[in-house]
Amino acid sequence: GIHKITDLAAASPTTVPADRFIAEFVPIIRKSSSDMLSLVNTLLDAAKVEAGKFEVRPELYDLRTVVADRVAFFRASADAAGVVLTAAVAPSVPSSLSFDPHAIEQVLTNLISNALKFTQRGGVVAIQSFMHETDADIAAEAKAAGVTWFVAPDDPALYHLPAGCVVAV
């Protein structure tokens, strides 16, 4: 994020007004630097996993907040790449779910970053989320939630998933 924004500012310093830069990009730069610190913590977590001491820290949190934050974070990169970045969280997703927001943020960061890297100009990267019930038809659930399902419905990894919130990029 920091790299892309500074590239944008350096390439066209007169096309981005200072007030827009401060209002729009400084918060992203600040968040990006925080994310770098988070990455260091992730590397430390990886060491904990290898040592058998990793902990997931679930808390009640709003998934929409995490998704909106990741979309805002990657907006400048998506625009620069000519890729449309969308997000759809179904209305059925509760405003308070039990999950580790930092871990989900890290996973989304990785998935969105890779999706942007490998999506051609003019393409779309979509973040989608909906609720799933055990043994239900996941493609039908997505459709009912108003989500355009883009994973093959016959993928064996989708059978017998426990009930929960599905998040896909």
Q: Which residues of 93-123 are buried (b: 16+ CB within 10 A; e: fewer)?
A: beeebebebbebbbebbebbbebbeebeeee
Q: What is the pLDDT of residue 20?
A: 74
pLDDT computed for residue 16 by the predictor: 65
**Mean pLDDT within 143-160:** 79
Using pLDDT thresholds of 50, 70 and 90, give the confidence band for residue 61.
Answer: very high
User: pTM score > 0.75 for this model?
Assistant: no
Q: What pLDDT, on a 0 to 100 scale, did the predictor assign at position 149? A: 77
Considering Cα of 6, then 120, then 83, then 109, what sign does the dihedral take? negative
